[in-house]
Amino acid sequence: MAITIIGAGSWGSAVAWLLGNKGYDVRLWARDARLVEQFNSTHSNPRYLNDVVFPPNVIAYTSLEKAISHAEAVVLAMPSAAVRDMALRLAPYIGGGMPVLLLSKGVERESGMLLLDVLEQVLGGHDRLVVLSGPNHAEEVARGILSATVVASSSAATAGFFQDLLGTPVFRVYTSPDVTGVQLCGAAKNIVAIAVGASVGVGFGDNTTAMIMTRGLAEISRLVTCMGGDPLTCMGLAGMGDLIATCTSRHSRNRSFGLALAQGESLSDYEGQTHMVVEGALACIAVTDLARHHGVEMPIGSAVRRAVWDGVPLDDIVEELTGRPSKPEFY
C-alpha cells in the first residue's frame, strides 16, 4: 500500500518512519528541495529528527503530483495555518473516496472553523476524514518508545482503517467518534503549555504547574461541552494525556516557548531560532475568539493571548489571574 505524507516536519517525519517500518510504500512530500535531496541520499531528515534512520521504502518528493500518484491514503502534517491552502493544492489529486488523516492541531483563525471542517469544505467527504491527537512527541515515536494516540472520525470504518494502518505494539491507536472534542483538546492544550512554561520561567513551582494544568483543562472542557463535544474526551488521550505531555516534556515547543517568553523573548525570535511553529501562540487567538463567541470563560487562554500578542508583562497577568473571585470548581 502506498501512503503519502504531506509535510516533512518532525511529526510528519515520525509518522513516515512509523509507516515505513510497517512495510508501506511511503512518499514524504516537502517543499524544500535541498531537504528532499539530503533525505533521499542519507535516509535521515537533516532538519528534524536528524539522528533517526529511515527505512529505504520512505522516499521524499518535492512534486505533489508525484508524491500522491497511486496513493491509497493521505496524511496531512503541516502547521494549522497552512491546512486550507494545502487542501486547495491537493484537491485536484485526491479522489472522492481517498481517506485523509489530519495530524495538524488548531482552529482556523479567520473563520473560527475546526480544521476537519476546513478539509470537508475544500475536499468534501466528511466520512473519509480523520483527525489524530494524543501525547505523541515525534522524538519518542520515531524511536519506538511506547506511546498511544486517538483517531476520531464521523465514520467508524474510516477510523478503523487508520487504526489498523498506524497501530503497532508500541504505538497503540484508539478510536473516537468525537471529532469536535478531540480537535478542541488538541488545539487548546498548547495554550495551557505556554502558560505552564511561563510560570516555570518566572520561578513558580510544581503546585502552580498542577493548578494551571487542571484549571486549563476545566477551560477546555467548558468549550468542548458548549460546542457539542463529549466532556469525557477531555479526560482521554487527546485531552489529559496530551496536556500532561505538552506541559511537562522537554520536547514540548509550546512549553519551551513559555520559558522563553518569561525571559523576554519574542515569538518571532523563538520561531526563528528553532525553525518550528508555536501552535499555541496562534491557537490562543483562534480558540479564545471561539470561546468568546460561545460565551465560554477562558481566563488562562486569554492571559496567554495578552502576554504573547499584546506584550502585557507577566507580573501584571499573574496579579490579574490571582485576583479573580473564587468560584465553584466546576461551572
Q: Identify any residues that bridge with 2 across adjacent strands, giving them in sequence order.
A: 25
Measure the CA–CA gap between 26 and 260, rounded to whole angstroms: 36
Measure the CA–CA gap between 163 and 166, rounded to whole angstroms: 6
Residues 6+ apart with CB under 8 A from 121: 113
Tell me which residue of 249, 283, 235 sits closest to 104, measured CA to CA. Answer: 283
Measure the CA–CA gap between 78 and 276, rounded to whole angstroms: 11
Catalytic annotation, pick one of 22, 66, 105, 189:
189
Residue 32: strand, helix, or coil: coil
Dmax (CA) of the chain? 60
Measure the CA–CA gap between 44 and 63, rounded to whole angstroms: 19
Measure the CA–CA gap between 214 and 160, rounded to whole angstroms: 31
Measure the CA–CA gap between 222 and 193, rounded to whole angstroms: 18
Query: Is there a catalytic annotation at residue 189?
Result: yes
Tell me the helices (H) and strands (E) count for the chain, helix number first: 15, 8
> What is each CA distance from 231 to 70, 97, 163, 327, in whole angstroms?
40, 31, 23, 20
- The residues assigned a catalytic role are 189
